[in-house]
Amino acid sequence: MLRPPSPDHRTAGHATLSGRPFNPVASWLLALVFSLTAIGCNGGNETGAPDPAGGDAAEAAGGEVENPATGVPEVIGAPAIADPAEGQAGSDERAAAFAKAAGEHVAEKPNVQGDNAEWFFLVRELKQMALGKFWEQDWAQVAQNQTNPIPSMVEFNDLLKAKGVQLIVVPVPAKASIYPDKLDARFAPGDPWPLTPFLDQMRAAGLDVLDIEPLMRQRRDAQPGEKLWCAQDAHYSPLACRIIAEKVKAEIEKGDWYAAQPKEELKRSDPAELEIVGDQVKGSEWEGQVAKETLPVEYAGRLNGDRIEPVEPDRDSPVLLLGDSHTLVFQEGASGGMHCKGAGLFDQLSYELGFPVDLVGVRGSGLVQARRNLFMTATQAPDYWAKKKVVVWVFSVREFTQSYDKLISIPIERP
């Protein structure tokens, strides 16, 4: 058996879950759906309180029935459509209703608890989702920095092209885009507007974009029992890191250089469990009021006896992983607030490619601060760009409208 790295212990936290206030209208509607379909739903019980089990176990049972109120097939165990007047699942009406609901959940604090009391959401992400199709609106009105981010990204792409380096942009979807039902039990997976139209604008500007939002939505539909995002953390899960690494590897291996690149046999551990107190809970009013979250995890790295030891970033690697804290979570370790080492996107991408990649990750803006750090890194390493073939740029989609950083020109090396 391949064992994980030596544990990097997390802080503890436990207690009972708290429900949301009683809602008689929602309760009456859920009771009506129950009486019409004779099927129990996990979106809420008859008091209006969230199901403490989170609903995923029932979702895993699968199966569909037709809701006679809407004519729309529904998965047994998935949240019911509480208001048929808001449109059919996946429609523009439903998407607009969800955008409005996301805005109603915005509060004057960093994080809010969802209708499912085990799930927490970053307010800045909800603010962007409340904008709806922000790419069709005036950037001076919808963006905190009043700027369309595409020209800045194109500038970065052009600088890298001049060095013979490929840029792959990987925007990370908002948690509520994949799990809208955990935020608001009236909605179902697939209801929010996807960001694909905006990412298509990025592609039209010459950017190589990996759109993982449809991939994650499809994965949740196919495997409803899996957890792709942490319930109490702003980041995706260790499983999502592995899935994304596989997709990025499929893009990188298209390069003519990849086949000849020296490789080593890295290993993955047997599945294990990781307990965390997520960054949406730690230090908040909910710390000590909700149980620790348990996540399935597979560590990746070099085999050392019967253990997997994480690899370290390699400045000479042909591949650079650049971005915000999505590049650090499950990689940097529990002592740094990132839960563990050896199971993040960096580790899984290194495993997939067969060699350690380089890493420039920040706890801040992936669009601006990450590039500033890259400039400092590149200027301190002789011939840095001569060794690079690909930059994989990973950052949260909330950066498109919720970043206050001015999108100034940032070079990739000193003149």
- CA separation for the pair 87, 81 (Å, rounded): 9
Maximal CA-CA distance, the chain: 71
pLDDT digits (tens, 9 = 90+) for 11-29: 333 333 333 343 433 433 3
Element holding 255 (H helix, E strand): none
Element holding 402 (H helix, E strand): helix 399-402
**Domain final position from 103, 135, 167:** 135
- CA separation for the pair 196, 161 (Å, rounded): 24
Tokens 């069709």 sit at which residue?
136
Q: Band of the pLDDT at 257, cuts 50, 70, 90?
A: very high
Can you give the pLDDT at residue 415? 83
- CA separation for the pair 339, 196 (Å, rounded): 31
Count: domains in the chain: 2
The verdict on residue 14 lying in a domain is no
Can you give the pLDDT at residue 86? 57
**Rg of the Cα trace of the chain?**
22
- CA separation for the pair 205, 212 (Å, rounded): 19
**Statement to judge: residues 114 and 215 lie in one domain:** no
Q: Band of the pLDDT at 111, cuts 50, 70, 90?
A: very high
**Statement to judge: residues 296 and 390 lie in one domain:** yes
The verdict on residue 77 lying in a domain is yes
Can you give the pLDDT at residue 143? 97
Beta bridge partners of 33: none
Closest residue by Cα to residue 238 from 94, 115, 106, 340: 340
Can you give the pLDDT at residue 9? 38
Candidate ranges 30-39, 343-352, 361-370; pick with highest mean pLDDT:
343-352
Token output for 12: 């503890």
Token output for 371: 């590039």
Can you give the pLDDT at residue 229? 98
The verdict on residue 414 lying in a domain is no
Confidence check: pLDDT of 367 > 70: yes
The verdict on residue 412 lying in a domain is no
**Domain final position from 108, 135, 162:** 135
Of 74-78, 212-216, 218-222, 264-268, the range with the lowest mean pLDDT is 74-78
Mean pLDDT of the chain: 84
pLDDT digits (tens, 9 = 90+) for 153-181: 999 999 999 999 999 999 999 999 999 99
The verdict on residue 388 lying in a domain is yes
Tokens 């073939």 sit at which residue?
389
Q: Band of the pLDDT at 382, cuts 50, 70, 90?
A: confident
Can you give the pLDDT at residue 88? 73
**Statement to judge: residues 240 and 356 lie in one domain:** yes
| Burial annotation 315-332 (CB, 10 A radius, 16+ → b, else e) | bebbbbbbbbbbbbbbbb
- Please answer whether residues 293 and 276 qualify as being in contact, where contact means their C-beta atoms are separated by less than 8 angstroms: yes
The verdict on residue 8 lying in a domain is no
- Please answer whether residues 31 and 46 qualify as being in contact, where contact means their C-beta atoms are separated by less than 8 angstroms: yes
**Statement to judge: residues 123 and 249 lie in one domain:** no
- CA separation for the pair 78, 181 (Å, rounded): 8
The verdict on residue 413 lying in a domain is no
Percent of the chain with pLDDT over 90: 76
The verdict on residue 3 lying in a domain is no
**Statement to judge: residues 104 and 249 lie in one domain:** no
Domain of residue 82 covers 24-135
**Statement to judge: residues 124 and 159 lie in one domain:** no
CA geometry: angle 27, 176, 404, nearest 5 deg: 130
Confidence check: pLDDT of 85 > 70: no
**Statement to judge: residues 165 and 128 lie in one domain:** no
